[in-house]
Structure 1
Amino acid sequence: METSGKLILLFVLVTAIFGSSDAQSVCNVPYSGLFACLPAARPPNPPPPTAACCNTVRRANLGCLCSYMKSKVLLNYGVDPNLAIQIPTKCRIPNAGHC
């Protein structure tokens, strides 16, 4: 799975576990920023990622987010990994790299 897709999956995981408080952050982004990406990763017919979601993905520490990618918790929150993988491309984020 590509890093960018893994990033989005991690965003959703961290948000689901820790809530959406701006008082704390993970991997250089606030939890509320991660929450902004959730609708774009849930079926059916997800909306395009919002500007807030795309800004979050751009600011994130990708290496940090990759360290969370082995978790299977995401599926418990309705996240479709195939949709999540598409978010960085939809946000037009170049050079997302690989974990």
Structure 2
Amino acid sequence: MRISSMVALSIMALTLVAVLHGCMAAQLPSECNIRDLIPCKPALTEPNPLPPSEVCCSLLSKGDLLKCLCRFKDSPLLPSMGIDPNLVVLLPKKCHLPQPFICLS
């Protein structure tokens, strides 16, 4: 009986972790979707990042993705996607966007 209680407790703990992970991902504003970085991935992948594509820079110039970069930089999901968080904040400069870009936190 003790083994089945331990198994049940383990399953509940894993379920809680999965739910909390989903909640953390959902805390970004609705306009911030980390998957929007996928067109920029070649420019965000070490060891030899490529220049950002026109599609990537176009997404940044529209503004919505640009507003999210600082939040994406701190996301624990980026490394699991093969994206270097430190390269994320360099995208505006690499795309030659006119306004200065600074993450305050």
Whole-angstrom CA distance in 1 between matches of 2:102 and 2:50: 25
Q: Counterpart of 1:77?
A: 81
| TM-score normalised according to structure 1 size | 0.56
Q: 1:82 to 1:71 in 2, by over 3 A?
A: closer
Q: Please, which of 16, 41, 46 is the counterpart of residue 43 of structure 1?
A: 46
Report Cα offsets for 1:61-92 as digits up to 9, x if no partner: 244x2684442111111211222222110100
Alpha-carbon distance in structure 2 between the residues aligned to 1:42 and 1:93: 20
User: Runs of 5+ in structure 2 lacking a partner?
Assistant: 1-31
Structure possessing the higher radius of gyration over alpha carbons: 2
Query: RMSD over aligned Cα, in angstroms?
Result: 2.4
Match of 1:87 in 2: 91
Structure scoring higher RCO (CA < 8 A, sep ≥ 6) equals 1
Normalising to structure 2: TM-score of the pair? 0.54
Q: Which has more helix, going by share of residues?
A: 2
- 1:84–1:71 distance in 2 versus 1, CA, 3 Å: closer
- Listed as ranges, the gaps of 5+ residues in structure 1 are 1-10, 16-30
Aligned counterparts of 2:57 and 2:84: Cα–Cα separation in 1 = 18
